[in-house]
Amino acid sequence: MRLTAWGAAAAGLPWAAGALTGCQAGGPDADPTRLRRKATPGEPKHVPPPPGGRKLIVVLFGGGTRSSESIDDPAHRWIPRLWNEMIPRGTLLTNMRVEGKVVHPNSAGSILTGHWEWDDIDWSRPVAHPTIFEIHRQAHRAADTDAWAFVYASILANAGVSSAEGYGIDFAANVVEPPTIPRSTAERMDALMRQAAASGSPQAELDAARQSANLARSSSRATAAGLRSPATRDFFDRRFAAWKSAGPEESTSHDAFLTDQAVAAMEQFAPSVLAVCFGEIDCAHYGSWSRYVEAIRRTDELTWRLWQAAERLDAYRGRTRMLILPDHGRELDGPGGSGFIHHSDFYTDQGADEGCRRVWMLVLGPGVSPGRTIGAPTPITSAAATGLAWLGLTPSPGAAEAIRLAK
């Protein structure tokens, strides 16, 4: 899997040390011109907006999170916000099933359409079935500013648009990716962190983290390929410029970047359909248990920030349904206890065990029974219909059915 080059680095924070090692810079931009699909005669008529201006937020607690380090941990050490403040207010489904390939883009795309997507592992193409963004925008003839996807890497650049007839780029979401850096910068940052770690000095490691953050900001670049209009490109240009000018004490976490931009979009545009696909938990591939669980804790905090924004903003308070679920899990521990590092060989499905395939979903918002738990096996693809039902819409034919949340 390709990761944003400076991944989880954050200047001045203890978990930043060593966070950049082995990352890969860059990634091809999507070409939106080749995805264009015009609406055709006979498409569904305009549907009036749902009562009360309902909103839908989908959060992928992503990068692959095992239940054993989240809802099944007896102490819930790494999800304090979820467990103590959010789960008591919502319905928790404890047996969500990853039925397709256990790989981030496939799971994310499938959650957003209700169908299993990208079985051929060709993420350069749009998904095959209409996304929740396109279904909403087409039904309500909504502007592009009413649908946004904030994704952790370019491999998800096409998660907001489909090749389905009558949908496509004209109804796609705005897709925001985090900044990337040149490989030369990544190598320089890696050398700084390794040298500091070898010194054995915590202060040297903090200094190197701050220097790395400055390097990341000064050389970073960002793509606007997923932004659909001048208004959204202007919004992103201003936000990216502000991020680049921030001081070294500010985080360079790409998941924090996505959260900041998502909240800013909520404040400025109040989109009806918004998805945030986190990814830093996948730092587990580097083999560090402490970094893996710290990334879960950080994602817990960022998810809580999104929920707080929905509770604070007038456009969202009392009218928002939020779905929170991992894209998939990670392998169970075998001899040596290192199963958390991987999540199967997605070409062969070798290693795709229960740790990979069983995840959870939390549903928050009006009409949801607080404190309820549902243990029935449920495909993660049911998230699309469940979210769309709140908006008075349905997914495309053949999609997984909506979850019955009422008792």
Burial of 16 (0-12, 13-18, 19+ CB in 10 A): buried
Q: Are 272 and 147 in contact (CB under 8 A)?
A: yes
Residue 50: predicted pLDDT: 62
Element holding 275 (H helix, E strand): strand 273-277
- Give me the DSSP letters along 17-40: TTTTTT-----PPP-GGGG-----
pLDDT tens sequence across 119-142: 999 999 999 999 999 999 999 999
Confidence of residue 344 (pLDDT cuts 50, 70, 90): confident
pLDDT at 351: 84
Q: Distance between CA 136 and CA 272 in Å, rounded?
A: 8
Whole-number pLDDT of residue 48: 58
CA-nearest of 129, 113, 131, 139 to 54 is: 139
CATH 3.40.720.10 fits 55-177+252-390, yes or no: yes
What single DSSP character describes residue 94? E
Res 94 pLDDT > 50: yes
Facing residues of 275 across strands? 58, 149
Extents of the domains making up the chain = 55-177+252-390
CA angle 298, 176, 209 (to 5 degrees): 45
Confidence band of 33 (pLDDT split at 50, 70, 90): very low
pLDDT-derived band of residue 264, with 50, 70 and 90 as boundaries? Answer: very high
Specify the pTM.
0.86
* CA–CA distance, 365 with 119 (Å, rounded to integer): 33
pLDDT digits 0-9 by tens, 37-68: 333 334 444 555 566 699 999 999 988 999 99
